[in-house]
Amino acid sequence: MDRKQVADWIAGYERVWRTPGTQGLAALFTEDASYQQGPYWTPVVGLPAIAQMWEKQRKGPDEVFQMTGEIVAVDGDTAVARQEVRYGDPVDQEYRDLWVMRFADDGRCRSFEEWPFWPGQQPTT
């Protein structure tokens, strides 16, 4: 993978999130992919399970959000990106995520791991 391929994959992820249904996931993830929503969460494994989780997590393809980010590193089949997602207009929820992605030879993701953070998580002093 190179930075352009990773950027194209991330753009595809956002496009599929904004599209009704889950058919587009097959272009993003391998059939046996794992998707871990947090560092200590049990991974969701397999395209059907990812599709089910996907539909439960989003409010629908018309959900209002802005997503920005940057690719931090690409090394072989592994990439790390920093993403910021702001939901609502006005914004009522935001996340800053690190995404760790491992890709198959065909460019689809075989392992996706999120490290989500949101306002208010800072420990008290």
pLDDT in tens, 78-123: 999 999 988 888 988 888 999 999 999 999 999 999 998 877 766 6
pLDDT in tens, 19-62: 998 999 999 999 999 999 999 999 999 999 999 999 898 877 78
Q: What is the pTM of this model?
A: 0.90
Contact residues for 110 (Cβ-Cβ < 8 A; gap 6+): 29, 30, 32, 33, 34, 102, 103, 104
Sheet strands (E) in 15-120: 29-36, 44-45, 65-75, 78-88, 91-103, 109-117
> Percent of the chain scored above 90 by pLDDT?
70
- Classify each residue of 55-64 as buried b or exposed e, where b means 16 or more C-beta atoms within 10 Å of its C-beta: eeeeeeeeee
The partner residues of 106 in beta bridges, in order of sequence, read none
Two structure tokens written together for 110:
């075989």
